[in-house]
Chain A
Amino acid sequence: MSDVTIEVKDLTRRFGDFIAVDRISFEVKAGEVFGFLGANGAGKTTAIRMLIGLLEPSGGTARIAGHDIYTESEAIKQSIGYMSQRFSLYEDLTPRENIRLYGGIYGLTRKQIRERSDRVLARLGLAGVADDAVRRLPLGWRQKLAFSVALIHEPHIVFLDEPTSGVDPITRRQFWELIYEAASAGTTVLVSTHYMDEAEYCDRISIMVSGRIAAIGAPADLKRQFGVNSIDELFVRLARPQSETSA
C-alpha cells in the first residue's frame, strides 16, 4: 500500500435534486491528522459515510487504505476504526468486556484480545476500574477508552466524529495526546469537530461549504493565505453566506 491512505477524487452524492457532496477531491497520508470541518448541513457527514462504506456515492472514486469504496467496503471496514461522540461504548459492559466485544467483532484471537486489553487498560490508567460498568466512569475516561477501542484492531485509519465534545480542557488535551501518539505510530486520523481551536491541532484541515471543499491545507498556511488570525475567523468567513440560506 502506498503512503496515501485516503484518496478521494470527484466524490459526489445526490439525494434527489439536492447535491449533498459535490465533486470533492483530497488525499490524506499515513500518520497524518486531518481535520474535516464544515457547518451543519455542509455535507461532512454524507462524505464520511461514503468513506467508511456506509453510503454508495453517486459519482467519483475513493480508495480507503487501498480499497475501493464501491467494491471493497467489507475490506474497508476491517481497515478503519470509528468513534463518535453519540455512541461508542456499551455502558452496561465493563471496559474489559467492551474491548473483548470489539476485538471479537474484528476477529482478533483470544490471546490478542487479552494482550491488547492489558496494554490499553494500563496505558489509560484504567486497570483499577477494568471490571466496573462503563456508565460509572467519568465522561473523559469513557472518551479515551472509546478511542482506544476504536484502535483495538490496529486499523490504518481512524475516523473521529466530535470526539471531545463536553469534556474538560485537561482531558481534551490528554485525548489529543492519544491522537498524536496513534498518528506517530502511523495511523491516519480523520477528525470532525465543532471546536475551531481544535482544528489547529491537525496537520491539515479541509473546510466544506455547500458540498464542496472551500479550503484545504495546514492551519498555519490557511491563516496566512486568507489573512486571518484563527481558523474560527476563516470558517465564519467561508461558511457565513451558506448559513443564511440553510435551515
Chain B
Amino acid sequence: MNAVAVEGLTKRFAGSVALDRVSFTVAPGELFGFIGPDGAGKTTLFRILVTLLEPDAGRASVLGRDVVKEFRALRERVGYMPGRFSLYPDLSVEENLRFFASVFGTTIGAERARIAPIYAQLEPFKARRAAALSGGMKQKLALCCALVHRPEILILDEPTTGVDAVSRREFWELLGELKQGGLNVVVSTPYMDEARRCDRIALIHRGRLLAVDTPAGIVRAFDRPLLGVRARDRFKALLALRAFQHAHSVYPFGEVIHYTDQRKNAPTETLTADVRAFLAAKGFADASAEPIEPTVEDSFIARTASSGDQLDGGAA
C-alpha cells in the first residue's frame, strides 16, 4: 500500500485553478518533497491530503484511506505542520505541547521516547512563550506538536521557509532521523537546494506537476550540455551572451552564468570554444566557459521556460 496515492486531483478557487489534475504516489517509508514557488499549489494539495479541504475532482488516499470519506480515521494518523506558525503564541513551549497531546488523548510523558531527540533541544526553553522563540525553535516546537500523537505520516508545509541556513540544516537532519525511524514524510519547500535531502521530489508550478523523480533523475533528464561561464563583469557578459546567435538560455547563478546552446547535440568542446571566442570578441578577455553539472534549479527553470508561459516572469 502506498503512503499516499493521488489521481487527477483538481481544485479551483474563484475561477483560478490551484491544482490541475495532479497525480503521484508516495511509497511507504519515503521522504518525498514538493519543490515549487509560492502560489504553485503546494499548500492546497497538502490541505487536501490532511482532510482540511475537499477536492473538486480526482481522488486522494493517505495510508490507504480516502481523504474525503474516511477523514475521521485519517486525522488521528496524520501529523500536519502548516506553513504558517499556528501554535499558541501566549502559551509556553511545554503548555503548547501538553495541549496538543491532550487533544489527541495522550500525554507528554507517554510520548517522551518518540519526541525525545527534538524535545531535548527545546527543553532549556520549555517555560518560554512560543511567541518569544527564534524562527528555528518555533519550527522545532511545531514539529514536536505534530508528532506528539504518534502519527504514521508527517505532512509538513514549508517547514524551513524564512528560517536561517543553520536551522534549516538542523531541521532536515531531524526529518532524516524520523524517516530512519520508519515514518512517512511528505514535505514542501521553495528552496531548490533542499531537494537533494529527499528520496524523491515533485517539481510543482502553477498547479501542475512538472516532473516526479529522484533528485538525480530530475537532473539527468536535463537534455543539453550546461556551461558555466565566468567573467569579471558578469552582468555585461550576461547581456552580451543573450545576444549570441546560438544562445538557448542564459541565467545568472551567483558567481557563474549558466548557459545552454541551441545546438543541443554539439560536442561540449565546440560549445565552450565558441562561447569563449564570442565573449573574447566582445571584449571579455578574461571570460571562461566550462561544462558543469546541472542542478535541480536548472531543471526547474528549463521545464518552466519550455512551457512557454513564463516570458514575463512568474504569473503565479
Residues of chain A touching chain B, judged by Cβ–Cβ distance below 8 Å, are 38-41, 125, 138-141, 144, 162, 165-171, 173-174, 176-177, 180-181, 183-184, 194-201, 219-220, 232, 235-236, 239-240, 243, 246-247
Contact = CB atoms under 8 A, between A and B. Distances in A.
A247 B134 contact: yes
Closest 10 CB pairs of A and B: A140-B314, A200-B254, A171-B314, A166-B38, A168-B37, A180-B235, A171-B313, A138-B316, A39-B164, A243-B166
B133 interface: yes
B102 interface: no
A40 B255 contact: no
A195 B191 contact: yes
Contact of A141 (B128, B169, B312): B312
Interface stretch (B21-29, B61-69, B268-276, B297-305): B297-305
B164 A40 contact: yes
B161 interface: yes
B313 A170 contact: yes
Contacts of B235: 177, 180-181, 183-184
A194 B167 CA distance: 11
B166 A39 contact: yes
B190 A166 contact: yes
Given A41-B134, A183-B235, A194-B164, 8 more contacts: A40-B134, A139-B37, A141-B312, A141-B313, A196-B165, A201-B252, A219-B255, A247-B124
A173 B252 CA distance: 6
Contact of B300 (A169, A174, A197, A219): A169
A139 B314 contact: yes
B39 interface: yes
Contact of A235 (B137, B162, B165, B234): B165
Contacts of A246: 134
Contact of B304 (A170, A184, A197, A247): A170
A236 B166 contact: yes
Contacts of A220: 255
Contact of A174 (B161, B192, B254, B313): B313
14 contacts: A139-B314, A140-B316, A166-B161, A168-B36, A168-B40, A170-B304, A171-B37, A180-B238, A181-B235, A194-B164, A198-B254, A232-B165, A235-B165, A243-B166
B254 to A, nearest CB: 3
Categorize the interface residue count of chain B: 35 or more
Interface in B274-316: 297, 300-301, 304-305, 310, 312-316
Contacts of A219: 254-255
Main secondary structure of the interface of A (DSSP, over half): helix
B41 interface: no
B297 A169 contact: yes
A180 to B, nearest CB: 4
A167 B124 CA distance: 36
A219 B191 CA distance: 20
B70 to A, nearest CB: 33
B240 interface: no
A39 B163 CA distance: 8
Contact of B165 (A165, A194, A201, A247): A194
Contacts of B161: 165-166
Nearest to B296: A169
B167 A167 contact: no
A181 B252 CA distance: 13
Contact of B315 (A138, A176, A240): A138
Contacts of A184: 235-236
B254 A40 contact: no
Given A140-B313, A200-B255, A247 B166 contact: no
